[in-house]
Structure 1
Amino acid sequence: MLKEFVEMKHYKFAEEASDWREAIKMSCEVLEADGTVEANYKDDIIACVEKYGPYIVIIPEVAMPHSQENAIGVHKTAISFMKLNKPVQFDENDREKDARLFFTLASCNPEQHLNNMMRLSEMLSNEQVIEALLKAENEKDLLEIDNRYLKG
């Protein structure tokens, strides 16, 4: 899965984001760059988080930004990866909602989306993968992690 992110150029490494809204915008940039999503998609995700709270932080350090399936402006089903060196806070009263790893989801094909979700869930259930991703600094590291942990 990480190899696919590299091949599709659906990855980004950054030092920090000014806040969680900026982090979501940054995490969508690589999906916008190749036409997977339109510019409005990041605003839709931000609006959902503002309305429903930080539901996108699925485990400490890991966020999964997304809007509803078949969202307006989504042209392909894909996932992108972004790593920040400094975490962003989604809830100042709950540090468990801080995130550094972002897996941004775009979906217009339910079957493909479900497959992506299963693969992502399987990958994130491996604590060694998460630890390695938190240390990753470039695409070479992503390929190494993919080769080491995900070629099962």
Structure 2
Amino acid sequence: MLREFVEKNHYIFVDKIDTWEESIRIGCKPIEADGTVDPRYAEQIIECVKKYGPYIIIIPNVAMPHSQEGAEGVNKTAISFMKVKEAVHFEEGNPEKDANLFFTLASCNPDEHMANMVKLSEMLMNEELVEELLKAEGPEDLLRLQEKYLD
């Protein structure tokens, strides 16, 4: 999966992002660049988080931005990866709702989407891998971690 992010150019590394809304928009950029989604998709995710709260924080330091099935602006099924050096706060004063790692999901094919979710879940269950992803600086680190943990 990490190799796929690099091969498809579905990754971005950022030092600091001022708002959680901006983190959603920036995290969608790699999959906007190749037409997987258009800018409407990021706005839909933002609206969902405003409506339902920070449901996208799945474990400490890890966010999985996504919208509901059939969301506007989704043309393909894919995941993009974003690492933010300085944590993004989704709920002020609640460090449990901070994120540095973002796995943005876009889906227009339920079977591919479920396969992506399974692969991502398995990867995130490896605490050592998550710790190393938090230290990753660029695509070469993603490739190294793919070889170390996932090949």
* TM bracket (short chain): over 0.9
Q: TM-score, normalised by structure 1?
A: 0.98
1:3-152 matches, within 5 Å, as 3-151=3-151
Q: Counterpart of 2:107 in structure 1: which amino acid?
A: S
- 1:33-90: CA deviations, max 9, x gaps? 0000011100000000000000000011000000111211100000000000000110
Secondary structure in 1 aligned to 2:70?
coil
Identity %: 60
State the secondary structure of the residue aligned to 2:21.
Answer: helix
- Within 2, Cα distance between the matches of 1:46 and 1:118? 24
In structure 2, distance between residues paired with 1:113 and 1:47: 21
Runs of 4+ in 1 over 3 A off after TM superposition: none
Whole-angstrom CA distance in 2 between matches of 1:54 and 1:16: 19
Q: Distance in 2 between matches of 1:55 and 1:63?
A: 9
1:92 Cα offset (Å): 1.1
1:93: Cα distance to partner?
3.3
Q: Which runs of 5+ in 2 are unaligned?
A: none
CA distance in 1, matches of 2:36, 2:71: 12
* Cα deviation, residue 94, structure 1: 1.6
Q: Which AA in structure 2 matches 1:30?
A: P
Which sections of structure 1, spanning at least 5 residues, go unmatched? none
Structure 2 residue identity aligned to 1:84: V
1:113-140 deviations in Å (ceiling 9; x for gaps): 0000000000000001101100100000
Q: SS where residue 104 of structure 2 aligns? A: strand
